Amino acid sequence: MNLPFILDVAIGLIFIYLILSLLASEIQELIATVFQWRAEHLKKSIEILLAGNAENAEEAHVIKLANEIYDNPLVKNINQEAKGLFVTIPRKITWAIGSLYRRLTTPRPGTDKSTSIFGDKKHTGPSYIPANIFATTLVETLQVPTLVQRLTESRLKKFKEERLTEIEEIIIRLQEQTSDDYRFADFFSNIYKEFSELRSEFEKTCWNFHQKKASLKTSLNRMAESLDRYIDSFQAEMPEDELSHKSLRKLKFFKQDNFENIEQAILLGGLQPNINEVVQTIDKNSEIYKEIKAAIQDQDSEAYKGIQEVFKTIETKLPPSVVDNLGVLAKRAQARVKTTEEGMNALRLEIENTFNSSMERASGVYKRNAKGAAIIIGLAIAITANADAIHMVRRLSKDSALRDTITNSAGEFARQNPQVDLEQIREKADQALTSISLPIGWSDANLQQQIKWTRQSKQIFPYLKILALIPGWMLSGIAIAMGAPFWFDLLSKIVNVRNAGSRPSSETRNVVDHEEE
């Protein structure tokens, strides 16, 4: 037994497994499409990410939060469905089969049998979600920007009231000190009117911030401008007196301390939540959450009614693990951010990185599960097609005509397909099979060689002899599960080795010998 003979047998066996692997991949892809394996695995992986572990991933509030994420328009737009009659009908058939399969399973916590894994009235879901879309969707679903806005509004109002109180105390103190001086009567009457206007301007500034018509810095600058006008009015109308000049200096010092440096005013006033406080806005046990809730509990506007739904989501649907995980991410990002906007962006980036890492692990799990399914499909194909590895080696070893036919077809097949393109490989494989009779199947010829029985014989079918085929089927099933790309790559390499090591033809050898003479 020489090397070319062994290579020919190997090429024939590899070519057969390549053909069967193509069939297996088609079957596996069809099953994966009907039962939404990829999309379902992605959904469960996201639930595990939200829950923190696989044990808590089946809790009702985790499933509800994941369903809300899938209801977000950003995620919905990923899963675009084709339109048209000829596309819709097959899709509805696969939906019906998938729905029937899910109806036979136990309903998930918080749902019934009519609710699919993708949520209420959803037949399918995306097989892939980009990390940036997931991070944005999670933050939007938890309404973190809204909660941060409400927290900043609450602190801005508190800042406003404290500063107005301090200004009013300066005026009241001056009034007490000059109560007997008639020159101050008109002054206080006018300056209190100016103070009322100052309060109105401060409240208008807070309202504009609430309406998102102005940023926090712009709002503080407007307050500073309003205070400057008030100080100018105070200076223009005050009587010439030491006490009034002293009060004027206090007002100017007050303005300088509180509004000279806007960044410092934001920092000292705690107006801009840091990234840790951002995460605490969704922690129902934190002081920040209680601060937000206390600040809006007496409000009746539509905006504040909407925030009540956020509280309901946090208190009934948000798993504690999500808050804990975001808290860890916030601490990781805290060192490199200065503003709330930078903190939100850093938090989204950390969520993206965590999502990518989680999806890499989920991809590994899916591949292992798919490999298990591929082995089962491979065994089923091996039995159905009677692909007995031991019998195929015997046939290829003894039948030179069959061996040469398959080897030549395999070599031509490898040369015509220099790259692994499964669609092109399937097309060429169909063409090759029209002229090749593979040593597989339940034909009389195969059965005669395997178990010494044919349909024309009057003997009872030898069921016990079938046991002798099981080892060959098992070897073929495992080989088929290796996949078409594996066998195609191996076929190309062995064909190259065979071609490189093949002996020259007799005609070529005669020419060489003649030249040497």
Contacts of 294 (CB under 8 A, 6+ apart): none
390 neighbors 471 (Cβ within 8 angstroms)? yes
Torsion, CA 243, CA 248, CA 254, CA 259, rounded to 10: 180
Contacts of 161 (CB under 8 A, 6+ apart): none
First to last CA, the chain: 33
**Residue 116 bridge partners (DSSP):** 119
Entry pTM: 0.72
431 neighbors 468 (Cβ within 8 angstroms)? no
Q: For residue 146, what are its two tokens?
A: 């809204």
Gap between the Cα atoms of 96 and 219, Å rounded: 57
The three state secondary structure string of 215-242 is: CHHHHHHHHHHHHHHHHHHHHHHCCCCH
Q: Specify the pLDDT at position 80.
A: 60
320 neighbors 282 (Cβ within 8 angstroms)? no
Q: For residue 69, what are its two tokens?
A: 């994420």
Q: Specify the pLDDT at position 432.
A: 55
Distances 178 to 120, 182, 234, 337, 376 between C-alpha atoms, Å: 73, 8, 15, 50, 97
79 neighbors 16 (Cβ within 8 angstroms)? no
Distances 284 to 235, 297, 312, 317, 426 between C-alpha atoms, Å: 49, 15, 10, 12, 57
Phi, psi values for residue 78, rounded to 5°:
-70, -40
400-416 and 389-398 helices cross at what angle (nearest 10)? 100
Please, is 484 exposed, middle or buried when counting C-beta atoms within 10 Å of its C-beta (0-12, 13-18, 19+)?
Answer: buried
Contacts of 75 (CB under 8 A, 6+ apart): 69, 126, 129, 133, 134, 137
Q: Specify the pLDDT at position 516.
A: 39
11 neighbors 408 (Cβ within 8 angstroms)? no
Gap between the Cα atoms of 441 and 447, Å rounded: 9
Residue located via tokens 């001086």: 181
Q: What are the 10-residue block averages of pLDDT along the chain, 517 residues in total? A: 80 90 89 83 89 80 85 81 54 61 61 65 80 90 83 89 93 89 86 93 92 90 94 90 92 91 82 81 82 69 63 74 79 70 80 89 90 94 93 89 83 71 60 67 86 81 87 95 90 80 45 40
Q: Specify the pLDDT at position 515.
A: 41
Gap between the Cα atoms of 191 and 230, Å rounded: 8
Closest among 496, 399, 465, 494 to 438, alpha carbons compared: 399
Q: Specify the pLDDT at position 78.
A: 81
Residue located via tokens 């401060």: 202
What string of DSSP letters covers 188-206?
HHHHHHHHHHHHHHHHHHH
Q: Specify the pLDDT at position 302.
A: 52
333 neighbors 346 (Cβ within 8 angstroms)? yes
Phi, psi values for residue 237, rounded to 5°:
-105, -10
**Residue 119 bridge partners (DSSP):** 116
